[in-house]
Structure 1
């Protein structure tokens, strides 16, 4: 699916700057799932979903995934299913149209089905989002940045009071609405409708600090304890010198070789929602991979799996779902293929198999990649 968008203009004028609506940005758009298929996916135990019911000027959230929706009526409710790209190849293919943005930022593809009047209420996201209109029509309003009061009696949902819109438009199939963090927005369904929300997140300071601590523990770093040659005469006072010395200890830890790189690689390759691997049963054996190679099988990446490298890293390390794996020298081209391409030809994955067969077999038996004829 091709995105009809001037990428350079978008990145320089809109990305993380201002919201905008792109009409027919996905021409001839075809929904990857039907409403019934989405409802069926919501029934799966490992799938996160919820139902939002509108009652006048208020909204409430209920657990998603049910066999019968008839008691909700034919209006004023919406089913939302998270990380559909982890479970459906066609949904994952839709995400590839937006791969001009880095993989580490991409969070998930949420798909929603809404009846007339349905929506999630006015809210503000702390991440970038692209909203794609599928089947049906929805009216979207986006307001300016500002200090918005929390909406009272919103049932634990992070809703805000109404706002004066700077965008007020009806979206049709193939339209794309981009909203940066901090802009209030609200959608109202006009006809039974499918919508697709691609979220792009970045770590906060707190998340980075927490990840540094976790990685330091895993690597056995950060064991040095503070010492001082002098103590303040006031026993209840922590001296400024000691405060600065402790801060210097933390700064020195961050400069430990590999700590920051491992922290970023592990953190940014993790998914907020669980992946859905299907490890082969029984586990693959080397002879089966040899046969697949001889037959010209392709190596297909698990939907939703992030495979990252860090620029400037000379160790040829790949980060997958919060773990790190080292590749042998001479596999630079193969490593780039593993990161860049969702599907690899035999010529592209054969070097890894010939050089590090145990590593590729591990990935196959974890379900991170699969072999397809």
Structure 2
């Protein structure tokens, strides 16, 4: 695949987008992702939703809400053909982790290279016939809504917060009040709409349509705390009891001074060089973890077949359904893949994986200094993907 232009209007630079729009306000990008047009049809997504390993949801909306019953019904995968019998007029099927099923689709993440790849979540596709919707809602993450087939009308309203009230007893988080509508447009195939976190939005299919959601998110503090604890268990010094000042006190009391002294030592450790190393590894492991289990490929190339493909013009690229990244502190560079630190690499292999993590497409001559068996292992692990020459 040739290099993909950034998904931004010609009048807006990446710096402007990050300063003026990112997590602040929406942006319509007309024909921001034309490569998506014609890549899939609705029948493709309906078939994929029935796959045993697919992460899919079928959401149906009753025409008239009955007393005591929810208006919406949700069925999670595995889905079967009979789930699509006698559907109401308004329904939607959602499939997550689309880049796992289509590496070609995953390559479209290149259009969003102005966002660090460790913040990429996954690509979700939404198929709906005319009138289909998932209701008025908001997300806690950034999303680029890319129209791939048909058209969908999008309305955007107010920013939401913890006080936002959801409709009771529904299987998904929905609300009735979007406040003042600040955006009301129909997106055609190839158009992209950026929606920042917590901004209410409501999309309705105008005809049979496919909308691809390129989601971006950051870790939450609980994930980091859990990871810190896991990594800290390997540091024997942290198991040594603390030395704390002692003042005369009632025998049954845990004084605030003691708690403060423990807190101070904890913060001193976290702010030390050792603490920085632990935090760096904890964050790197969290953000490089896959959200979904990897699919086991039906077949893979052996070493000879891989090298033959490269010699014939195929390129080696990072597999966008996996997480390959690196962190660097001065001369100390660490590589991570799918939540694990990669150790034991020589300089040549490290250099190549860094280039792949940065989105480069490498040819045969680029990887001459790397052991072919090691390249084959990367392919088997799912870290890299072969793009064959056309």
TM-score, length-scaled by structure 2? 0.84
> Secondary structure, in 3 states, of the residue corresponding to 2:316?
strand
Aligned to 2:113: 99
Matched, 1:308 2:325: yes
User: Does the Cα contact within 8 Å between 2:95 and 2:124 map onto a contact in 1?
Assistant: yes
Distance 1:342 1:219, change over 3 A: farther
CA RMSD of aligned residues (A): 2.8
Q: How many residues align?
A: 367
> Secondary structure, in 3 states, of the residue corresponding to 1:238?
coil
User: Does the Cα contact within 8 Å between 2:319 and 2:384 map onto a contact in 1?
Assistant: yes
Structure 2: how far apart are the matches of 1:111 and 1:221? 48
Structure 2: how far apart are the matches of 1:263 and 1:330? 26
User: Does the Cα contact within 8 Å between 1:84 and 1:109 map onto a contact in 2?
Assistant: yes
Structure 2: how far apart are the matches of 1:314 and 1:163? 50
User: Does the Cα contact within 8 Å between 1:81 and 1:112 map onto a contact in 2?
Assistant: yes
Matched, 1:323 2:340: yes
Post-superposition Cα deviations, 1:103-154, rounded to whole Å, max 9, x if no partner, equal 0100000001101221111112110011011212211111111442111231
User: Does the Cα contact within 8 Å between 1:222 and 1:253 map onto a contact in 2?
Assistant: no
Aligned to 1:261: 280
Post-superposition Cα deviations, 1:18-69, rounded to whole Å, max 9, x if no partner, equal 1232233234751422222212222223221101111247322112432246
Post-superposition Cα deviations, 1:68-116, rounded to whole Å, max 9, x if no partner, equal 4652447300000001011102211222211221101000000011012
Unaligned runs of 5+ in 1: none
Q: Aligned runs of 1:170-319 on 2, under 5 Å?
A: 170-218=186-234, 222-230=238-246, 232-254=248-270, 255=272, 256=274, 258-278=277-297, 284=302, 298-312=315-329, 314-319=331-336
TM-score, length-scaled by structure 1? 0.87
Structure 2: how far apart are the matches of 1:135 and 1:120? 17
Structure 2: how far apart are the matches of 1:24 and 1:338? 28
Structure 2: how far apart are the matches of 1:218 and 1:348? 37
Aligned to 2:149: 135
User: Does the Cα contact within 8 Å between 2:41 and 2:149 map onto a contact in 1?
Assistant: no
Displacement after TM superposition at 1:241 (Å) = 2.5
Matched, 1:125 2:139: yes
Structure 2: how far apart are the matches of 1:195 and 1:26? 12
Post-superposition Cα deviations, 1:259-304, rounded to whole Å, max 9, x if no partner, equal 11211211111121223353867x946x777767766764343341
Structure 2: how far apart are the matches of 1:217 and 1:150? 41
Unaligned runs of 5+ in 2: 66-70
Aligned to 2:68: none
> Secondary structure, in 3 states, of the residue corresponding to 2:40?
coil
Aligned to 2:28: 21
Structure 2: how far apart are the matches of 1:313 and 1:348? 25
User: Does the Cα contact within 8 Å between 1:148 and 1:161 map onto a contact in 2?
Assistant: no
Displacement after TM superposition at 1:312 (Å) = 2.5
> Secondary structure, in 3 states, of the residue corresponding to 2:47?
helix
> Secondary structure, in 3 states, of the residue corresponding to 2:167?
coil
Distance 1:122 1:225, change over 3 A: farther
Aligned to 2:367: 349
Distance 1:172 1:27, change over 3 A: same
> Secondary structure, in 3 states, of the residue corresponding to 1:133?
strand
